[in-house]
């Protein structure tokens, strides 16, 4: 079945630095890739998503890139702030099933 | 504009009892998804429902677990004869279901603890 791998599992950066999280998916039919941020004890919050008809999408300090040939996509956070500290999950989905297959998560810590 | 509402937020059950988790989707959303999250792990898909229909239950255990989304009222995830391994956070998400892939928005979850 569909599988999504996510790296790294933990990431520590200094405030102001950039953070990059990478995911690889197995099902070439996947065509929707959201990213969620989850703070401790809270709900997963959608922060950005990308569809397979585009290669890059940006929203202020957050950007996502997609390489369909290699079947991987990445989250880029620039000018990190302590409030960016959380667990980030990537996911993949395709149109005939709608279900999200999640990666295992990346715990990001931003030190002041 | 209320988001996805789940209740209860916390539920404690003894082994062998039944657990009922409720989810009301966002206004205007007709698609509901249930996911389970074990401590320190990612979210695992369980079931996808539309009003009065189960679309995909491939992630739901065949025994003891059932889900429904009636014409009126919230979606219910029911776990019968709970065991310690059922302890987890159960999240519900909803989407508009207007065709094509739509973003899923999550509720605050129900944290189920089995004694």
A residues 38-97 lying closer than 8 A (beta carbon) to B = 42-46, 49, 51, 89, 93-95, 97
Cβ pair A90, A65 in contact under 8 A: no
Interface contact flag, A43 B108, Cβ < 8 Å: yes
Nearest to A104 by CA among A1, A7, A2, A34: A7
Confidence at residue B113, expressed as pLDDT on a 0 to 100 scale: 97
Place of tokens 């520590």: A12
- The alpha carbon of residue B39 and the mean position of all alpha carbons in its chain are separated, in whole angstroms, by 17
Nearest to B101 among A36, A98, A102 (CB): A98
Interface contact flag, A46 B103, Cβ < 8 Å: yes
Pairing of strands B10-13, B110-114: parallel
Residue A99 has pLDDT above 70, yes or no: yes
> Tens of pLDDT along chain B (115 residues)?
579 999 999 999 999 999 999 999 999 898 999 999 998 788 999 999 999 999 999 999 999 999 999 999 999 999 999 999 999 999 999 998 766 678 999 999 999 999 9
Gap between the Cα atoms of A107 and B52, Å rounded? 38
Identify from A2, A31, A35, A44 which residue to disrupt to test chain B contact, counting B C-beta atoms within 10 A and taking the largest count: A44
Interface contact flag, B103 A44, Cβ < 8 Å: no
Dihedral sign of CA atoms B80, B82, B83, B89 in order: positive
What confidence tens digit (pLDDT) does each residue in A53-88 have? 889 999 999 999 999 999 999 999 999 999 999 999
Residue A97 has pLDDT above 80, yes or no: no
Pairing of strands B88-95, B110-114: antiparallel
């Amino acid at each position: 079945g569909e599988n999504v791998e996510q790296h790294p599992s933990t990431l520590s950066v200094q405030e102001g630095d950039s953070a990059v999280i990478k995911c690889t998916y197995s099902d070439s039919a996947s065509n929707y890739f959201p990213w969620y941020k989850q703070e401790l004890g809270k709900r997963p919050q959608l922060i950005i998503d990308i569809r397979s008809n585009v290669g890059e999408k940006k929203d202020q300090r957050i950007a996502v890139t997609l390489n369909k040939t290699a079947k991987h996509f990445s989250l880029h956070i620039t000018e990190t702030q302590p409030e960016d500290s959380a667990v980030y999950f990537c996911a993949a989905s395709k149109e005939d099933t709608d279900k999200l297959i999640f990666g295992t998560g990346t715990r990001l810590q931003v030190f002041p | 504009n209320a988001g996805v509402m789940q209740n209860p937020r916390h539920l404690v059950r003894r082994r062998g009892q039944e657990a009922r988790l409720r989810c009301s989707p966002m206004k205007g959303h007709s698609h509901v998804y249930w996911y389970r999250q074990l401590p320190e792990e990612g979210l695992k898909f369980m079931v996808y429902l539309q009003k009065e229909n189960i679309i995909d239950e491939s992630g739901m255990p065949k025994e003891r677990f059932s889900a429904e989304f009636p014409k009126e009222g919230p979606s219910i995830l029911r776990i019968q004869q709970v065991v310690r391994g059922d302890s987890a956070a159960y999240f519900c998400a909803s989407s508009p279901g207007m065709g094509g892939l739509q973003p899923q928005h999550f509720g605050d979850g129900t944290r189920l603890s089995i004694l």
